[in-house]
Amino acid sequence: MRTVLVVGGANVDVVARSTGRFTMGTSNPGRAYTSAGGVGRNIAANLGRLGVPTELITAFGNDTFGTRLYDETASAAVDLTHSVELGMPSGSYLAMLDAEGELVGAVADMAAAESLRPEHVPSRVVADSSYVVLDANLSVEVLEHVCRAAAAADVPVVIDPVSVPKAQRMASVLKAWPVHTITPTRTELVALSGVDDPQDGVAALHAQGVGRVWVREGVGGSTLFTPDSSQHIPAITADVQNVTGAGDSMTAAYVQGLAAGFDDVTAARRGAAAAYLTITSEHTVRPDLSPALIEHVLKEQ
């Protein structure tokens, strides 16, 4: 299996979960912890856990957080040869969860990822990859550079829009280069397409050359749209411990499935199983995630 290249953000997650009903505008009793995170980093670490040869290009800060991020990512068998250390603080993500583990709100400081430049991502590394996975924490210049290099080498690109504000960075990319799959939430779909109706929004992205639009709806499951069909994939009922990282594991297992030769829908179902395994764990990247564990979940379902 050829290497999957992931280019995106790495940051330390600071997650606080209330022990009772979350009340806005005041202090809530609960507990807090830190973990290695970042959309791109999480996807790469999950791919490594799933046995996929994976390279991550990201920016680490020159601080203790940067050292931790590097070490924990490398321990997941991720190649960091072309990642860089910048003279600035590492990225950080502060998330507040309610007692059910659902996200109440978050703030992301991704200045390090946004400081990556096109020269940090060699075109030959892109061309040698089986798939390229991007997150929208990157600058427009880097997103355009990587998509241009991937298109020239006929390498399929999978994009995570990350958030509504960052999804808007994708406009020039989607108009100029083909994208294999994009994975928006409903609100990110509106930001990407400029259309309120989901069906029309998906059609608008297909018209721009996006092959597959995989719309995520949390407990409502997800729907994988191609230009000719759509398939709803139910979420697996779970005792939620922590939703942080669920979408990242979902994307990783999907790409692992595609790289292993599964069809789109089967790969997406594997993604749903990985998301279930993640939210039933307290870890952002579940340490025991494996293809066998995903197969076990799918067999039970």
pLDDT, mean of residues 186-198? 94
| Cα separation values, 86 from 93, 145, 148, 150, Å | 18, 20, 25, 25
| Cα separation values, 72 from 12, 35, 78, 138, 176, Å | 11, 9, 9, 21, 36
pLDDT, mean of residues 6-14? 94
pLDDT, mean of residues 25-47? 94
Residue 253 lies in a domain: yes
Range of the structural domain that residue 187 is part of:
4-20+31-300
Q: What is the mean pLDDT of the chain?
A: 94
Residue 26 lies in a domain: no
Looking at the chain, the whole-number percentage of residues with pLDDT higher than 70 is 100
pLDDT, mean of residues 58-72? 95
Total of domains in the chain? 1
Among candidates 220, 55, 244, 227, which has minimal Cα distance to 133? 55
Looking at the chain, the whole-number percentage of residues with pLDDT higher than 90 is 85
Residue 224 lies in a domain: yes
Residues 215, 2, 266, 276, Cα dihedral to 10°: -60
The pLDDT value given to residue 244: 81
The pLDDT value given to residue 60: 96
The pLDDT value given to residue 43: 98
Residue 187 lies in a domain: yes
The pLDDT value given to residue 295: 95
Render pLDDT for 80-113 as a digit per residue (tens, 0 to 9): 999 999 999 999 989 899 998 888 998 989 899 9
Render pLDDT for 277-293 as a digit per residue (tens, 0 to 9): 999 988 889 999 999 99
Residue 229 CB partners (closer than 8 Å, separation 6+): none
The pLDDT value given to residue 1: 77
- For residue 261, give the CATH number of its domain: 3.40.1190.20
Residue 226 lies in a domain: yes
Residue 25 lies in a domain: no
The pLDDT value given to residue 204: 96
Render pLDDT for 130-170 as a digit per residue (tens, 0 to 9): 999 999 999 999 999 999 999 999 999 999 999 999 998 89
pLDDT, mean of residues 247-253? 97
Q: What is the β-pairing status of strands 4-7 and 230-233?
A: unpaired
The pLDDT value given to residue 292: 96
Among candidates 103, 53, 47, which has minimal Cα distance to 219? 103
pLDDT, mean of residues 61-84? 96
Residue 97 lies in a domain: yes
pLDDT value at 4 more than 80: yes
The pLDDT value given to residue 102: 84
Residue 104 lies in a domain: yes
* 232: Cα separation from own chain's centroid: 20
